[in-house]
Amino acid sequence: MQRSTTALNAYTSLLSETQPIAFPPAPPTVLPFAQALFRLAHDRGTLPTQGAWQLHSSTCQKLSSMTQNQTPPGGWSNLAAILAGTTLFEASSEGFKPLQPIDTLDLWTENELKQALVESLSMFLIPPTSAAGLFLMLGVHPAWGLRVAHETHKLLKTRANTMHQKDVNIFDNEQLFPEQHHHVISHSIFAFVSIILEILRSLDTSQSYHLTHFAQLILEASRFTKTQIQRHNMRTPGGHLDPFIDKKTGHLDQPLRRALDFTALDLMDSYLVPAGIVHRFNNQTFCVWPEHIPETTTIFGLGELRQNHWLTDMIAESSSRLAS
């Protein structure tokens, strides 16, 4: 991993080393698949899982038979997971449960669904594997990542009207998780998410892009947003949980490379592809439909995506360092 890489040249490489797509894939349609999932969930009450946030294979087979052997982009299990980041589904220990009346999705448009799927991560840090990848890249302590996710999940449950009593647990411990630290960390995590979406919105549908360049830009975005955290006084006296875990391993490239590979691939396969934003080719390139990331997409704590300019700030800071 070249430490001399900057956000500016990583972004330049992503934009310049492209290839025109001779036969562009058609933009995926996700709504009929979500409707099939929703109908089956209502019919059965709960859709069983065979692992955390992983739809049971028998249910996937049943859904395929219901849709004439068609499969949504990214597969049924990944679609179910990101739907659980909307007000439609809840992921519980029993499985995926529907939260709205059976005819709810009949009133949704394709664009409304896609915005809700994008906001699964940008608002609620779902799917959890993708959120965990972001925490790894930032070197944030997993418990702090869970603390931020806990706050967003409480908001999701409130919107879905599934909270019946005060949710009290260890994450409400002010001594372990001081509110001023939580605000800084949460703000930076969602700035990281915003940068990724801002990058994708800046790309051209007619071109294919290298996944390795996208991954390198994710790395630079993680460095930039981690710096935002470190600019604040994050000392942890009095039993506060240290926000970072990478103080002993941060100088090593190999753990960071493994984290980067995991994060980039998981973002693609568990979030961007099933949300209908990105198509992955077999040669480690991808194309994107920027219009499937609406500028009105909400970023938790940061407003609508069109109000965010974190990518511009990151490139400007990188250019300033090169000039100095």
Per residue in 158-198, pLDDT tens? 888 776 555 556 666 666 777 888 889 999 999 999 999 99
* Lowest mean pLDDT segment, chosen from 23-27, 189-193, 266-270: 23-27
Tell whether 223 and 201 lie within a shared domain. Answer: yes
Domain boundary among 78, 108, 138: 108
**Banded model confidence at residue 9, pLDDT cuts 50, 70, 90:** very high
The whole domain housing 96 covers 31-108
pLDDT in tens, 95-139: 999 999 999 999 999 999 999 999 999 999 999 999 999 998 988
Tell whether 173 and 266 lie within a shared domain. Answer: yes
CB-CB contact of 315 with 8 (8 Å): yes
Which residue did the predictor score with more confidence, 39 or 162?
Answer: 39
- Residue 2 domain-assigned? no
In total, the chain counts a number of residues equal to 324
**Banded model confidence at residue 17, pLDDT cuts 50, 70, 90:** very high
Tell whether 84 and 154 lie within a shared domain. Answer: no
Rounded to an integer, what distance in angstroms lies between the CA atom of residue 209 and that of residue 194?
Answer: 19
Domain boundary among 75, 108, 141: 108
Tell whether 133 and 83 lie within a shared domain. Answer: no
Overall average pLDDT of the 26-33 stretch: 96
Rounded to an integer, what distance in angstroms lies between the CA atom of residue 137 and that of residue 139?
Answer: 5
Tell whether 144 and 89 lie within a shared domain. Answer: no
Which token pair is 257? Answer: 């490379």
CB-CB contact of 274 with 28 (8 Å): no
Tell whether 133 and 218 lie within a shared domain. Answer: yes
Tell whether 12 and 146 lie within a shared domain. Answer: yes
Which residues are bridge partners to 285 per DSSP?
A: 210
Overall average pLDDT of the 59-85 stretch: 96
Residue 285: strand, helix, or coil: strand
Rounded to an integer, what distance in angstroms lies between the CA atom of residue 43 and that of residue 38?
Answer: 9
Overall average pLDDT of the 278-303 stretch: 96
